[in-house]
Structures are given as C-alpha cells and as structure tokens.
Amino acid sequence: MTEERARWGSRVGLILAMAGNAVGLGNFLRFPVQATENGGGTFMIPYFIAFLLLGIPLMWIEWGVGRHGGLRGHGSVPGMFQTLWKNPVAKYMGVLGLFMPLVVLIYYCYIESWTLAWTFFSIKGSLHGLSEQGMRQFLTNYQDLQAPEMGWWVPFAFYFVTIAVNFGVVLKGLSGGIEKLAKIGMPILFIFAAILVVRVLTLHPQTVTLANGTTATSSPAAGLNFMYLPDWAKLKSPSVWLAAAGQIFFTLSVGMGSLQAYASYLRKEDDLTLSGIATAATNETAEVVLGGSLAIPAVVAFFGVAGAVAIAKGGAYDLGFVAMPLVFNKLPGGALIAMAAGVMWFGLLFFAGITSSVSMATPTTSFLQENFGFTRKKSVLAVAGVAVAIGLLHIFFYQWGFLSEWDYWAGTFGLVILAMMETVLFVWVLGPNPWRWRQVWSADNRMWNELHDGAAWRIPNFYRFIMTYITPLFLVVMMVAWGYKDAWPTLMMHGIPADEHVTRWWSRGVMLLILAGLMLLTRIAWRRREAQGEEAA
Amino acid sequence: MNKGALIFMLCAWAVVLGILVWSFAKLLRLPPPGNDHTPPPDSGP
C-alpha cells in the first residue's frame, strides 16, 4: 500500500493533463449558454472577478490538498482529508471526492459518446441539409433510441467505443496514457478551435429572419458586441453573479476530486504555484478566447441576438448538437465545408471531453490500488465494469431525466460542498486560525508554506487574505443561494413532468447506493490499514 | 464592432493570454525537475 507512487513524465505534460482535466465540454457549450442567458457582457464582469477570487485560489488549494495527500501515500480525497484532519469523520467527508468523479464519469462518457457519434455523422453527411426541426428530431431520436434510419444499437456502439478509449488510456498509466493523451489531444483541440474561430469571425454579414417575420442583417461582430457590451443595470442582479461564479467553478473542474488526484503525483520539490496558474490560464484561454468567439458569434450571425438567446434557453445540447450543425450547413462552401467544420467542432468537443473524463477515473482507480492492493489493470477493469453497468441506465432512461438528476446533484451542487470542505480543511485546519489575524500573515502559516514548497513563483501576499476569508465566504454564499434557489425546488421536482418522477427517484436511489458503497469501501479500507499497523490516517 | 465592446474584449483577452504566456515562459525557463529552485521565503507584510 505504500509502494513508490507513479510520477509525471514532464512539467509540460503535467500542465497539459491538468488543463485537459479542466478544459471540457463546459468551455465550449456551457459557457456560451451561461453568458447568453445572463446578458453577455454583463456576465463577463462577475465572471472575471470570480476567476480571481474563487477560481485561482481553489486551483491552488486543490493542488495543495492533492500533493499533501500524495506525499503521505493517498491518491484520493478520503485519505487526503484524513491527513489534513485527524478526526475519523474526515475520510467519510472525503468520500465525496470519490463519489463525484465516479458519478460524473459515468454520465459524462455517455454525452462524450454523442460527440464521437456526431463526428461520424458529420463525415457521413447525415446532418447536411437538415432543417432546424430535422436537426432537433435527429438528436431526440438518438437520445430516445428511436432512430430507425441508423439503428437502435448505434448509441450503444458509440458509448462502448468511448468507454473503451477512456479506460484504455487510464490503463496505460500516468505518463504512458493520460499524459500522452493530453500532449496529443490538447494541441488538436486548440488547433481545431482556432480554425473554427477564424472561419466564424471572418463570416460576411448575413440576412436573418426574425421571430416577427421581418428580416435584418446580422454578423459575428454583433455576437461579440453582445458578449462584451455590459448592461450596467443588470450587474445588480445576484443571479448573474451566481451564474458567473458557478461557471468558474465548473470550468476549472474544482470541487470534483480529480485535480487533487493528479496533484497527488507531485513531489515536494515540484512547483505548484506557477503550474496552478498556468493551468487556470490555459483553461481560460480555451473558454474566453476560443469558446467565447465560437458558438455565440456564429449563432448570432445566422439567427440574430434574439435567436441566439432563444437557442441558449434550449440548453447546451441544443446549442452544440442542433444550432452549430445548422450554422455549418449555412457556411459558404457547401457540403465539404459543412463536413470539415462538423468534424472539427465535434472532434474538439470529443478531445475536450476525453481529457476530462480520464481524470475522473483516476481517483477511484487509485483508491482501489492503494487500499485494496489491486493491480492497475484490475482496478481499471473494476471501475470500467461499474461505469458500463450503470452507464447503461443513462442510455435507457435518458428521456425520463435520469441523467439530469445526476448532473444536478453530483455535477453541480456536490461540487460546492466538496470545495467548501477542502477549503476549510486546507486553509483553516492545516493553515492559520482564521480568527487570529496575525497568524494569517505569519511566516508560520503552514498552508501558505506548503503551497510554496518547490515554488517557482511566490503568490502575491494579498492572496493569504483572499484564500482565508474571501474564497470561503464566496463558497458559503454560493451554497446558501443555490440551496435556497435551486436545491429545494429540484429536490421537490418543481416543474418536472409527473411521468418523470418515478425514474428520477430511482436515479437518486442509484446515486445514494453508489455513495453508500463508497462509504463502506472506505470503512473497510481503513480497517485494513489499521489491521496492517499503518497509521489510522 | 462597437468600440466599447472591442476594448473590453481586447482587455479580457490580454489578461488571459498575458497570464498564459507569462506563466508558460517562466515554467519553460525553469531547470529540469529535481533541482532546487525554491525562492527565499517571505515573512509577510
């Protein structure tokens, strides 16, 4: 259990893998939808403030928690929390850091398989010439397994291929699989995105038909105007601030458990401060510079601002799998250009997805290896088996909201809970007593010193204050606001069609079973550790 | 494109790309892993 841990092969490989972890479907789908729904330019101001006060500090905290645990032989959050806080409850709190990456991995792979499927459909020309109605029907048919033109088995086939590729990469190990994938996948993703951005931004003004039947001229510049012209009056709206903070959370993959798992392979003498900020900057480049210049300007150019807002209201999947292929069909150059654009768009989404999903498989595989003596192969096969078995439920019951429940409770609400716990443990328990002002600024601030072990750059001192007070406060506000605004209505299924209620309760039951199973495994693991005379931690 | 929007966009891009280029330039100048490159500790303000 305490054998030599694997290490990253190179510094650039580590940062690309970390950035690959963070850059996901959310950068290209969720970000434009959130920005459009929350007023475009108005959204961008709180977004950047949240990046500085919440995103960057959490990135450092997660790297710090991960390395702290990794140096003590723990590659997953239960052990990491136990090393930060000796109370036996700590490891059970950390089970969320196993639960969330596993649960998100299971449904994320299914959505990732759509991107693979749509890459194939783009090559095959299946999307060419479809109307808006036809494009939406094509997506719905695929999701509902009712697509006579392609066969009910097609979604399963793409799902199994996606799972096989994901776990094949994890099986190859840290530097031979995950790092190599990041070194190949990330440049491809950036190149595809850059080509599409150039094509979108150089589009000529288009004539668009508005909802009232009249026509007007629109262009990509109108989309950029919408993205970057703030409406100062709307800035007073708390919901815009909440949405911006939430987006920063999701885009950086903080509060999940996967960044910590990657950081656990760092050595004490490895840099963490500069690498952390480089990772955050890589993600923001993908999101703001590329993601922000792609979907919104493209959709505004062909559908107008009002049309883009209406599409955003339909959600991220509508934007990615309906609106964008429609845009590609309208590009000058005919079927060949539509195919090339489709391949690049869905290809970049696939690479964004897979570099994230392989990171989500890491915490549970590490946990099994470190605590139960599993070989890498055995642990990867065990997690893959669970992922496939439960993932099939998502395919069968997608249309009744099975996946939406998981996406909300594990992929949204749970993240804030884990981030809150790790911030308190790393900043307040390992670090200074927050009520003692002098300790925060002291040279003995252990949290601050641990972040700077091996550091190639010193974090500006004012971040001591931000990390100790502002970041936790931000998290508490988010947790309370979401709890009040979203969690209760979601729990009570307000606005959900009655025919979905039973499936959604089953979906919650399966999640609770997974959580209970992981709690039990953690209990057994620590009993084994104690029996073998290792530290109770 | 509106001038205000253009300035805001260029500022946003400059911040993000600035941090990216600065951090990678600094990282690539570091000695290979294993060497001690820890800067001297500070003692706070």
Q: What pLDDT is attached to residue A93?
A: 96
How far does B40 lie from chain A, in Å, by closest CA?
Answer: 9
Query: Does B42 have pLDDT greater than 50?
Result: no
Copy the structure tokens of residue A105. Answer: 């991995």
Chain B residues within 8 angstroms (CB to CB) of chain A: 1-2, 4-6, 8-9, 12-13, 15-17, 19-20, 23-24, 26-28, 30, 33-34, 36-39, 41-45
Angle between helix A273-284 and A56-70 (nearest 10): 130
Binding-site residues on chain A for chain B (CB distance < 8 A): 10-12, 15, 41, 44, 48, 221, 224-225, 227-230, 267, 269-271, 274-275, 277-278, 280-282, 284-285, 288-289, 441-443, 445, 449, 452-458, 461, 464
- Indicate whether B36 pLDDT > 70: no
Residues of B in contact with A205 (CB under 8 A): none
Determine the distance from the C-alpha atom of residue A327 to the mean position of all C-alpha atoms in its chain, rounded to a whole number.
25
Whole-angstrom distance, CA of residue A277 vs CA of residue A279: 5
* Predicted interface score ipTM higher than 0.90: no
Report CA-CA distances (Å) from A230 to A44, A205, A243, A285, B17.
8, 23, 15, 20, 21
Dist CA A2 CA A532 (whole Å): 11
Per DSSP, the three-state class of A49 is: helix
Identify the CA nearest to A78 among candidates A464, A437, A518: A518
Cα A224 from Cα A35, distance rounded (Å): 11
Cβ <8 Å between B45 and A452: no
pLDDT for position A363: 95
Backbone angles phi, psi at A411, to 5 degrees: -85, -5
**Which candidate from B1, B8, B44 shows the least CB-CB separation from A41?**
B8
Looking at residue A11, its pLDDT comes to 82
Query: Longest C-alpha distance within chain B, in Å?
Result: 51
Burial (0-12, 13-18, 19+ Cβ within 10 Å), A528: middle
Q: Which pLDDT does position A537 carry in this prediction?
A: 45
Q: How many CB pairs under 8 A join A and B?
A: 102
Amino acid A194: pLDDT: 94
What pTM was computed for the model?
Answer: 0.90
pLDDT for A484 equals 82
Kindly list the residues from chain B whose CB atom is less than 8 angstroms away from the CB atom of residue A284: 16, 19-20
- Across A166-246, where does the E strand assignment appear? 206-209, 215-218
**Mean pLDDT by groups of 10 residues along chain A of 537 residues:** 70 88 90 87 92 95 95 94 95 96 94 95 90 89 80 91 95 90 92 93 83 81 90 84 87 92 92 93 94 91 87 86 91 90 95 93 95 94 95 90 86 88 95 87 92 93 95 90 81 88 94 96 94 65
DSSP A206: E
Say what the pLDDT of residue A169 is. 95
DSSP A436-461: -HHHHHSTT-HHHHHHTTT-SSPPPT
In this prediction, residue B1 has a pLDDT band, given cuts at 50, 70 and 90, of confident
